[in-house]
């Protein structure tokens, strides 16, 4: 008999006013008993609507059936058949818009907690088995991967499993892309990302860190060195600013820089050596997941007051509902329908105030979205010493500007054939945020997978 409870088995969380002072994980993993109880809510639907909602087609009812039977190892084998980073996706996938959105249990009550179950299985495996893969026999064909985010890691892993000699070139000193420099430790512990990188190394993938492709070496030079194909998974790390007065004052950061200093350079540890202002009052501008992460990090870094400024209302916020709720619980002060117009500085050139204007939402336009309009004369000032801009990012132009024949659209995203992820240059493939602009981890992984398959077909034909 299935468990017909209308609600998910809850996950335990750290208390909000305790967790907003530490970087430990906010949400605890299910216990085996909780996982079995939740798995019993799945009806094992014949037409599997949940699977259609998963970008990498995890065989959801099959793995959940194994969880319900207590066979967690078999559940892991099913998930990892199509999902290379289940420890990551189980934590950060926007499940509510993907697999869980299609779950029939969601029609009357809450959907099955597919993400939490996936995380449980992946964590269980990491703790109890974690068998390192064995390096397959080499076919002697060299492939280069640019960038070690989820797109690059997935592509490299799939190609290495097929016997290719894969080298990953990463600009930073640590592999993982946004998984290590963007998403904070309290949502995705870095040890988990490292364990995935270790598996890649066990497969024989050569990781070349501190190499900026396009500057240290170009893609054409890589091809001259004998790489027969290249996958570009360089992400979308170029931050946008508002273009308002005062953005060059000391104490104004892009969310990317702020989060990189906190997460990758470990500014939250006492022995860190990255310069980061010890802020008292912070304004974060934006309404997406990146803004939530920046605000929650600023609070944990010791700020007494953190404002979250967004020019629309809460309903229109692109951030995941769970992240918004977590941020509110953690004492982030939401200032909605409000937009900065100027940042003011003191005599030392440091941020001292932010001038904002109130906004009003207009009637929905053709796309159904209500655009915000300034309310004349509603300007007001807030005293702040730090401003963090979380307004979105776009791909860095370095690779396309140093690789002749590589075309990009007007947003700077590389143009690819969607079935193969082949770019406009033969032998060069691309995927993830470099192609879509800022998107999600699981979509980047899906693109890396598709590209690996296409590269294999291309090179098999050529050799």
Query: Is residue 145 near ligand SF4 by the rule CB under 6 A?
Result: no
Query: Is residue 444 near ligand SF4 by the rule CB under 6 A?
Result: no
287 makes contact, choosing from ligand FAD, ligand SF4, none, with CB < 5 to 8 Å by partner type, with none
Q: What is the closest distance, in whole angstroms, from the C-beta atom of residue 113 to ligand SF4 in the complex?
A: 9
Q: Pick one of 147, 340, 372, 446: the residue that binds ligand FAD (CB under 6 A).
A: 147
Query: Is residue 87 near ligand FAD by the rule CB under 6 A?
Result: no
Query: Is residue 398 near ligand FAD by the rule CB under 6 A?
Result: yes
234 makes contact, choosing from ligand SF4, ligand FAD, none, with CB < 5 to 8 Å by partner type, with ligand FAD
Q: What is the closest distance, in whole angstroms, from the C-beta atom of residue 5 to ligand SF4 in the complex?
A: 13
d(CA 17, CA 120): 25
Q: Pick one of 58, 79, 146, 156: the residue that binds ligand FAD (CB under 6 A).
A: 146
95 makes contact, choosing from ligand FAD, ligand SF4, none, with CB < 5 to 8 Å by partner type, with ligand SF4
Query: Is residue 93 near ligand SF4 by the rule CB under 6 A?
Result: yes
Q: Pick one of 169, 227, 258, 334: the residue that binds ligand FAD (CB under 6 A).
A: 169
**Site size for ligand SF4 (CB under 6 A):** 27
Query: Is residue 439 near ligand SF4 by the rule CB under 6 A?
Result: no
Query: Is residue 235 near ligand FAD by the rule CB under 6 A?
Result: yes
Q: Pick one of 5, 45, 71, 336: the residue that binds ligand SF4 (CB under 6 A).
A: 45
237 makes contact, choosing from ligand FAD, ligand SF4, none, with CB < 5 to 8 Å by partner type, with ligand FAD
Q: Which is nearer to ligand SF4, 116 or 400 (CB)?
A: 116
Q: Which is nearer to ligand FAD, 37 or 322 (CB)?
A: 322
Residue 424 burial class via C-beta count within 10 angstroms: exposed 0-12, middle 13-18, buried 19 and up: middle
Q: What is the closest distance, in whole angstroms, from the C-beta atom of residue 136 to ligand SF4 in the complex?
A: 25
Query: Is residue 100 near ligand FAD by the rule CB under 6 A?
Result: no
Query: Is residue 35 near ligand SF4 by the rule CB under 6 A?
Result: no
Q: Pick one of 29, 60, 67, 459: the residue that binds ligand SF4 (CB under 6 A).
A: 60
Q: What is the closest distance, in whole angstroms, from the C-beta atom of residue 394 to ligand FAD in the complex?
A: 12
Q: What is the closest distance, in whole angstroms, from the C-beta atom of residue 37 to ligand SF4 in the complex?
A: 14
Q: Which is nearer to ligand FAD, 146 or 357 (CB)?
A: 146
Give the Cβ contact number of residue 113 at 10 Å.
Answer: 27
Q: Pick one of 29, 39, 78, 103: the residue that binds ligand SF4 (CB under 6 A).
A: 103
The site map against ligand FAD for 435-454 (x = CB under 6 A) is ---xxxxx-x----------
Exposure of 313 in the CB half-sphere (CA atoms within 13 A):
6
Q: Is-contact 350 249, C-beta < 8 A?
A: yes
Q: Which is nearer to ligand FAD, 84 or 117 (CB)?
A: 84
**In this structure, are strands 238-239 and 393-394 parallel, antiparallel, or unpaired?**
antiparallel
Binding segment for ligand SF4 (CB under 6 A), chosen from 52-60, 128-136, 280-288, 406-414, is 52-60
Q: What is the closest distance, in whole angstroms, from the C-beta atom of residue 88 to ligand FAD in the complex?
A: 9
Three-state secondary structure readout of the chain:
CCCCCCCCCCCCECCHHHHCCCCCCCECCCCHHHHHHHHCCCCCCCCCHHHHCCCCCCCHHHHHHHHHCCCHHHHHHHHHHHCCCHHHHHHHCCHHHCCHHHCHHHCCCCCCCHHHHHHHHHHHHHHHCCCCCCCCCCCCCEEEEECCCHHHHHHHHHHHHCCCEEEEECCCCCCCCHHHHCCCCCCCCHHHHHHHHHHHHHCCCEEECCCCECCCECHHHHHHCCEEEEEECCCCCEECCCCCECCCCECEEEHHHHHHHHHHCCCCCCCCCCCCCCCCEEEEECCCHHHHHHHHHHHHCCCCEEEEEECCCHHHCCCCHHHHHHHHHCCCEEEECEEEEEEEECCCCEEEEEEEEEEEECCCCCCCCCCEEECCCCCEEEECCEEEECCCEECCCHHHHHCCCCCECCCCCECCECCCCECCCCCEEECCHHHHCCCCHHHHHHHHHHHHHHHHHHHHHHC
**In this structure, are strands 165-169 and 386-389 parallel, antiparallel, or unpaired?**
unpaired
Cα–Cα–Cα angle for 290, 296, 301, nearest 5°? 120
Q: What residues does 361 pair with on adjacent strands? A: 372
Q: Pick one of 40, 105, 199, 300: the residue that binds ligand SF4 (CB under 6 A).
A: 105
395 makes contact, choosing from ligand FAD, ligand SF4, none, with CB < 5 to 8 Å by partner type, with none
Q: Is-contact 176 183, C-beta < 8 A?
A: no
Binding site for ligand SF4 (CB under 6 A): 42-45, 48-50, 54, 56, 58, 60-61, 83, 89-90, 93, 95, 98-99, 103-105, 112, 114-115, 118, 442
Binding site for ligand FAD (CB under 6 A): 92-94, 146-152, 169-172, 177-178, 182-183, 211-214, 233-235, 237, 259, 289-290, 293, 396, 398-399, 432-434, 438-442, 444
């Amino acid at each position: 008999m299935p468990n017909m409870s209308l609600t998910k088995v809850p996950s335990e969380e750290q208390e909000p006013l305790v967790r907003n002072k530490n970087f430990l994980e906010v949400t605890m993993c299910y216990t085996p008993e909780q996982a079995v109880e939740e798995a019993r809510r799945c009806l094992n639907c014949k037409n599997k609507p949940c699977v259609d909602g998963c970008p990498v087609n995890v065989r959801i009812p099959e793995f959940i059936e194994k969880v319900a039977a207590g066979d967690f190892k078999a559940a892991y084998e099913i998930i990892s058949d199509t999902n290379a980073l289940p420890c990551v996706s189980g934590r950060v996938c926007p499940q509510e818009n993907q697999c869980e959105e299609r779950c029939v249990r969601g029609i009357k009550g809450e959907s099955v907690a597919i993400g939490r179950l996936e995380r449980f299985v992946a964590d269980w495996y990491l703790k109890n088995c974690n068998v390192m893969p064995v390096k397959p026999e080499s076919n002697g064909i060299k492939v280069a991967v640019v960038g070690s985010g989820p797109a690059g890691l997935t592509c490299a892993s799939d190609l290495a499993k097929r016997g290719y000699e894969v080298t990953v070139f990463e600009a930073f000193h640590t592999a993982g892309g946004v998984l290590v420099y963007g998403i904070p430790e309290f949502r995705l512990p870095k040890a988990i990302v490292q364990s995935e990188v270790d598996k890649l190394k066990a497969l024989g993938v050569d990781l070349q860190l501190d190499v900026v492709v396009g500057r240290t070496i170009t893609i054409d030079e890589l091809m001259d060195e004998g790489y027969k194909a290249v996958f570009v998974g360089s992400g979308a790390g170029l931050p946008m600013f508002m273009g308002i007065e005062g953005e060059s004052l000391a104490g104004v950061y892009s969310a990317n820089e702020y989060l990189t200093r906190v997460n990758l350079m470990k500014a939250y540890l006492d022995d860190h050596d990255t310069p980061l202002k010890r802020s008292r009052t912070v304004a974060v501008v934006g309404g997406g997941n990146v803004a939530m992460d920046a605000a929650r990090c600023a609070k944990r870094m010791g700020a007494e007051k953190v404002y979250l400024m967004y020019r629309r209302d809460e309903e229109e916020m692109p951030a995941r509902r769970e992240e918004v709720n977590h941020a509110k619980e953690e004492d982030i002060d939401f200032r909605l329908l409000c937009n900065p117009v100027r940042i003011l500085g003191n005599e030392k050139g440091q941020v001292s105030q932010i001038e904002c204007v109130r906004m009003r939402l207009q009637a929905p336009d053709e796309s159904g979205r209500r655009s915000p309009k300034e309310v004349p004369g509603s300007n007001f000032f807030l005293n702040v010493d730090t401003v963090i801009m979380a307004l979105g990012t776009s791909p860095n132009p370095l690779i396309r500007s140093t690789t002749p024949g590589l075309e990009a659209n007007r947003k700077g995203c590389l143009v690819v054939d969607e079935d193969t992820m082949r770019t406009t240059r033969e032998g060069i493939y691309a995927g993830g945020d470099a192609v879509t602009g800022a998107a999600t981890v699981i979509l980047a992984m899906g693109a890396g997978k598709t590209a690996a398959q296409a590269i294999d077909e291309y090179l098999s034909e050529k050799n």
